[in-house]
Amino acid sequence: MRAAWYEKQGAVRDVLQIGEMPDPIPAAGEVRIRIAASGINPGDIKKRQDAFGVGMAYPRVVPHSDGAGRVDQVGAGVSSEWLGRSVWCFGAQSYRPFGTAAEFTVVPLEKIAPLPDKVTMDQGACLGIPASPPTAPSRWRVPSRERVS
Residue 137 burial (C-beta neighbours within 10 Å; 0-12, 13-18, 19+): exposed
Judge whether residue 123 has pLDDT over 50. Answer: yes
- pLDDT tens, 7-29? 999 999 999 999 999 999 999 99
CB 36 within 8 A of CB 68: yes
CB 21 within 8 A of CB 5: yes
Q: Is 35 helix (H, G, I), strand (E, B) or coil?
A: strand
- pLDDT tens, 31-50? 999 999 999 888 889 999 99
Summarize the confidence of residues 55-82 as an average pLDDT: 96
β-bridge partners, 33: 71, 105
Domains and their CATH numbers in the chain: 2-131 (3.90.180.10)
Cβ neighbours, 10 Å, residue 71? 24
CB 6 within 8 A of CB 34: no
